[in-house]
Each structure stands twice: as C-alpha cells, then as structure tokens.
A and B are shown apart, each in its own frame.
Chain A
C-alpha cells in the first residue's frame, strides 16, 4: 500500500531505523511485487534517461510556436563570462532547468517528473550536483526514491496535474520533490527532508496554470527555473535546521484546497492569467495563421 502521508513514512523509518529512501524502495517492492534489484534497475534507468535528456539539448531548436528555444544556451554564455548575480553553480541550475523545459517543448525525449511540463526541476538540481562531483550515481538514485516518495504522497493527498490543481500541482510538486532529494543528498535527517519538501511547496502555493495558447511553453519553461531555485533555497533552509511551521501533510492538503478553489480558467485551459493577456491573445491569433 502506497504511503498516504509523509508522517506514515517517518513513522516507519523511526520504528525500523531506516532511511527515507529505504521506506519508499521497500514500499515499491511490496506494491509492485518486484525485487530490490528490479526496482533499483528501473530507478537507475530513470536517472540514465534524465542524464541523456540533459545531453540532447540543441540550442538552435525552436518549439512549434517558436516562442521557446535557445534560452538555456543564453544563460550558459552569460554564466561563462563569470560575472553573475547568483554565482556559477546556481546559474548551472537555471541553465539546466531552461534546457530541459525547452527540450520538452521541442519534442525531445524527457522524463516526466512528475509531469512533462515540470520535467526540468529535478534534473536542474540533480545534474549539476552530479557533474560537480558532489554525489555518485548510487546516491542520486537513492535521492530519486526520496523525491518519488514525496510526489506519491502529494498525488494521493492532492494532485499532480495542472488541469486539476494549477501549476502549484506541477512545478510546486516538482519543487517539493527536488528539495527533499537535495536534503537527502546532503545527508540531512529524515525530518529535515520533510521540512524541505513542505517549505518548497508552501512557497509556490497558489501558482496558477495559465499557458499561452494552451501550449507547454510560456510560462512553463521559465517556471521550471522558479521550481529548481526554490528547491535549492528550501533545501539549504532545511539543512540549516529551519522547520516548516505547517507539517508537510497539512501543506499538501492546503494545496488541494487551493487547487479546488482555483477558477477553471486558471487550470490549464489557456483562458486566464498570462494566457488571457493582450500579448497572450495576440500570440494565439498569430498561431492560427
């Protein structure tokens, strides 16, 4: 039985003396009737697919609407000049988030995490971490279990689709998963993992899904940056010992409530928010011709 609460995961970990990722891995073995090796093999494949997707970026590629493309490359060029506000590492995160979002918009192969629209958040924090030699494949695969466990609880208590709960359910969920993964990678406690996840979603609560022309392009690609950078900040806060005042499960429940109250025009219909701006509507008109 999949976990319905992070409290349930923490309770299991406390009783059994397990790490967070082990609780999720063991639950997967039980739920899908697979061996530890089979489950791990699948997770390695996901990580492999993420890395491969990271290398498939083409800076010349443009999306169907031509609204998206080349932005990750622009950040790379800017970063390499060595004079940024956020520093080299955080700019690598920004760059990776843009590149993955752009690749998705340009019909490249990506890993939905938890959705295609939010596919840039996890790789944006994990790939630079791996490339800078801070973690092994094995550690990152373990962190992916942590992310998946958080995502699973969010999906069971709320939703992970923009059409159901707005962007908070996609980028918000991805950011929460990414923060948890980062805390785990840096050796944080199980409780710190959960605080990181809670804070990351809290920061993005209420985010609406308002794609221009209904396409997974504007503002989706750049919101992957927001999700990734927010995850980094929340992971650092959690590792510094800062706790979320509201427990994670209650944050997820609040996300559901907010999503349910969200007007349908702000849930992936392309009828409200940025999609309904004068420029947004002009783009729609242009695409028709």
Chain B
C-alpha cells in the first residue's frame, strides 16, 4: 500500500467498501457498456442488500453509472440526476450464491440496445473486483486495462487479437480463455499494461467470428 492508500481516498461517505467501492463498480460498468446506460437493473446481494440503503450503496452504484467519481458531492442526489438524464433504474434484493458478501449484479442497456451484465464485488478500502461479465467468470481488478472478446470457438481468433495488441505495442499482463463447448461460444479475457485505442476496438468488432468486444480502459475518471 502506498501512503495515499493510507491517507485517502477523498470520497463521499459513509463507507469505503459500501459507498466508494460501489461508485467504482458503477463506473466500471459504464465503461464496459461504453456509454451511460438508458436502463439498469441492479441486484444487491449479501451485505450490499442488508445494509446498502443505509450506506447509500444504491445511490452510489447509480452515481457510478452516470460517470460520477467517488468524491463527487452529487452522489447522494444520483437518483434525481439519473431521472434528468433519462436513465431508468430498478433494484432487486437477492442473494447471489457463492458471491463475495459485498456484491452487485448490474444489467445495463445503452440506447442502441447493446447490453452487458456485470457482477462485481467491493473488497474494502474502495478496491473492487469484476467477477463476471455476461455470466462468464473473469475476475479482473479494474486496476489494469482489460479487453474481453466473445468469439466463435474457431482457430485463429486469439492470434488475431494478440497480433493486433502486438502491433499497437500493448503488453499483455494476463490472458484467459474460456468456451462453453468445442466449436461453440468462446471468451478471451486479456489484461494489459496499456490502454487499447478505440480504433483497434472498432477493427476487432468487424472481424468475422468475433461477436462482441468489451473494453475497460483506465482514464481520468478512475481518479
């Protein structure tokens, strides 16, 4: 831990895990969607469900979806801001089996109909972990950029993605591959040391056999 993990973060209270961490979960979800959602269905699990309202966890998650950072003094009024921006949101209180005590599942849609489902947990001190994306276990910390590619389970797609990264001088930190069955749907989860340019993401989306590209770049709004 560096000294500004000890003194800091500057945040809206009352809890680093239930408030600041929840804002970050919302922010990461917005980034994974690529836009402020027009609709969000949020499931609060475990301690997020039990004590979340008292900690403002619900308002913090919506604030993050709107792009607010953990120190934004508008967090307590995020519901009103969401209404102003035309974002529809609802909450479900339900325990997600096997999940960390501070977990939320955010299903979000943008205006074009694109959707992602992000299950994430708040680990304490404002640190978070994205456990699942669209039901697939990915376990990325959101402290590094991440690229998640859904593709058909065919030869060559990993090579296409990794050579694109090599071409852009992006170093791979971790790489994990999953598939539901041979020749079925596959997912690759790549954590990198550098952000991935938007143009490369656009190119990837057009590659045959690649069905969905989701990216988490680090930027200003991560604070």
Task: Report which A residues bind B (CB closer than 8 A).
Answer: 2, 24, 28, 31-32, 42-43, 45-46, 49, 63-65, 103-117, 119, 122, 144-145, 147-149, 151-152, 155-156, 160-161, 163-164, 177, 213-217, 270, 287
Contact = CB atoms under 8 A, between A and B. Distances in A.
A8 B130 CA distance: 37
Interface string B87-103: 00000000000000000
Contact of B4 (A46, A110, A149): A46
Nearest to B124: A161
B3 A145 contact: yes
Contacts of B9: 111-112
B51 A270 contact: yes
Interface of B: 1-17, 19-20, 47, 50-51, 53-56, 59, 71, 73, 75-76, 124-126
B68 to A, nearest CB: 12
Contact of B54 (A116, A145, A214): A214
Contacts, number: 128
Contacts of A151: 3, 6-7
A216 B7 contact: no
Nearest to B13: A104
B12 A108 contact: yes
A interface SS class = helix
Contacts of A63: 14, 54
Given A147-B7, A149-B3, A110 B13 contact: yes
Nearest to B56: A107
A104 B9 CA distance: 13
| 10 closest residue pairs by CB, A with B | A104-B13, A214-B51, A151-B6, A148-B3, A216-B14, A107-B76, A215-B54, A49-B10, A64-B54, A116-B16
Contacts of B11: 109-112, 116
Contacts of B12: 107-110
Contacts of A42: 4
A103 B7 contact: no
Given A46-B7, A109-B73, A103 B13 contact: yes
A31 to B, nearest CB: 6
A112 B8 contact: yes
A28 B51 CA distance: 36
Contact of B10 (A65, A111, A114): A111
Nearest to A113: B7
A89 B72 CA distance: 32
A287 B6 CA distance: 32
B55 A24 contact: no
B74 to A, nearest CB: 10
A2 B54 CA distance: 36
B2 A64 contact: no
- From B3, B9, B15, B16, residue with most partner A Cβ within 10 Å: B3
Contacts of A103: 13
- From B8, B71, B75, residue with most partner A Cβ within 10 Å: B8
A160 B3 CA distance: 13
Contacts of B6: 113-114, 147-148, 151-152, 155, 160, 177
Contact of A28 (B3, B10, B55, B126): B3
Contacts of B2: 2, 28, 31-32, 152
B19 A111 contact: no
Nearest to B51: A214
Contact of A216 (B15, B47, B50, B71): B15
- From B2, B6, B71, residue with most partner A Cβ within 10 Å: B6
A1 B186 CA distance: 40
Contacts of A117: 14-15
B13 A2 contact: no
B6 to A, nearest CB: 4
Contact of B51 (A107, A144, A164, A213): A213
B50 A214 contact: yes
